[in-house]
Structure 1
Amino acid sequence: MTGLWARLFGRDPVPDHVAENLEPSEAVVATATVSGGGTLVVTSWGVWPPSGARIGWHEIGKATWDGTSLAVTPTVAEQIAPGIELLTDVRPHRFRPADPRTLPQAVQDRVTQSIRTRNRRELPGGGAWVLQRKVPGRDGLVVQVRPDPGTDPAAVRRLAEGIADRLPGGGTD
């Protein structure tokens, strides 16, 4: 998008590395120049950090806005069985948009919209969220188990494996 068109639509230009890698059905929703340089791009499929690849909505454990900075916490997924993932949070990415406009709300809305169902399970040492999430560009849902920090890892694994065993064709072999 040229600078003129970007300004008419109220967003910063989309960097070439993002524009060249967008999926055909992926739409740009919001952009913002961030401190330290670069542009944060929000699409219908995920968040594109200024220097990096897309983080899909289903790969974000949480996103928070404190009025000046956006923190996006990605997750790493371990496949327990087909369609069942055990998530681990990794270090949050922090962005300070110069002019956030609609960016924080766009991120919050899309993280929330990726979740179709959520259930809380109390476990030794904490608990875990069991989520059914939509993965952009794919049919169906993935079940994700996201434990709280400090929750007994063995209890979390038993929970995820138990869910896999109850699904049709389930089982962790």
Structure 2
Amino acid sequence: MFGVFKRRKLPAGRRPSLGADERVVAWAGATGDDVVVVTNHGVWLPGAAEPLGWHEIHKATWSGRQLSVTAAREVPVGDDAYAVMEDRPPIVVTLLDPDRVPEQVRVRVNKSIAHTSHHPLEEITGVKGGVRVVGRRVPGVNGLRWTVRYDEGVDPAAPGVAEHTAELVAWAKSGVGVVG
């Protein structure tokens, strides 16, 4: 009767080196004797030296056996008010026994997003396309991390784009009650 409430235990040899306030919330066996480990801070994928933080994941999809995670990387632009992001290649892992991993990845990525809004740029800058402004929660950090992602084909260096983007980020910050 009590076995119903028993949690699966991650084998000690498969446990990644966790931070002081980091804890395992789900895990799943993957192909090749690998594991995917979900913590309150992020997801440890096979072969990774460190986890992907929830705030770093742009998109995650589940197809019934395969978990696909697309992380973002920062593009250097030199603005302190926000970071410009672009996608890394997706990482696809086949889960043999997914358990709660897909659900926890979805929930935790979504919970990291405090604000998201998309804005067309053409009317103000003459540039076709738009920009998505996102405020994300980062574990262990007060406040939000502000990022932008330009639509495909938008040149962030085009006249007026950086200035208008800074205004949009400032507007978004004021709408969620965040200063700085």
Partner in structure 1 of residue 141 of structure 2: 138
- The equivalences for 1:117-128 within 5 A come to 117-123=115-121, 124-128=127-131
Q: Is the 8 A contact 1:12 1:39 kept in 2?
A: no
Q: Is 1:43 aligned to residue 48 of structure 2? A: no
Partner of 1:3: none
Partners of 1:128 and 1:76 in 2: CA distance: 16
**Match in the other structure for 1:5:** none
Q: Give the letter for the 2:35 counterpart.
A: T
Structure 1, gaps ≥5 residues long: 1-7
Give the 3 Å change call, closer, same or farther, for CA 165–133 of structure 1 in structure 2: closer
Report the count of equivalent residues. Answer: 161
Shift of 1:68: 1.8
Give yes or no for contact 2:29–2:96 (8 Å, CA) kept in 1: yes
1:66 aligns with 2:63: yes
- The one-letter amino acid of 1:67's match is G
Contact 2:37/2:44 (8 A) holds in 1? yes
CA distance in 2, matches of 1:140, 1:55: 19
1 CA distance for matches of 2:166 and 2:14? 42
The residue number in structure 2 matching 1:55 is 52
Alpha-carbon distance in structure 1 between the residues aligned to 2:66 and 2:109: 17
Q: Say whether the 8 Å CA contact 2:113–2:135 is kept in structure 1.
A: yes
Task: Report sequence identity in percent.
Answer: 36
Q: State the AA in 2 paired with 1:101.
A: D
Matches within 5 A, 1:14-163: 15=13, 18=16, 20=17, 22-52=18-48, 53-78=50-75, 80-123=78-121, 124-154=127-157, 157-163=162-168
Distance 1:68 1:126 in 2: 35
TM-score normalised to structure 2 length: 0.77
- Whole-angstrom distance in 1 between the partners of 2:119 and 2:167: 13
Report the Cα distance in structure 2 between the residues aligned to 1:35 and 1:115, rounded to whole angstroms. 30
Per-residue deviation, 1:150: 3.0
Residues 87/97 of structure 1: CA separation in 2 closer, same or farther (3 Å cut) = same
TM-score by length of 1: 0.79
Q: Distance in 1 between matches of 2:80 and 2:166?
A: 11
**5+ long unaligned stretches in structure 2:** 1-5, 122-126
Counterpart AA for 2:91: H
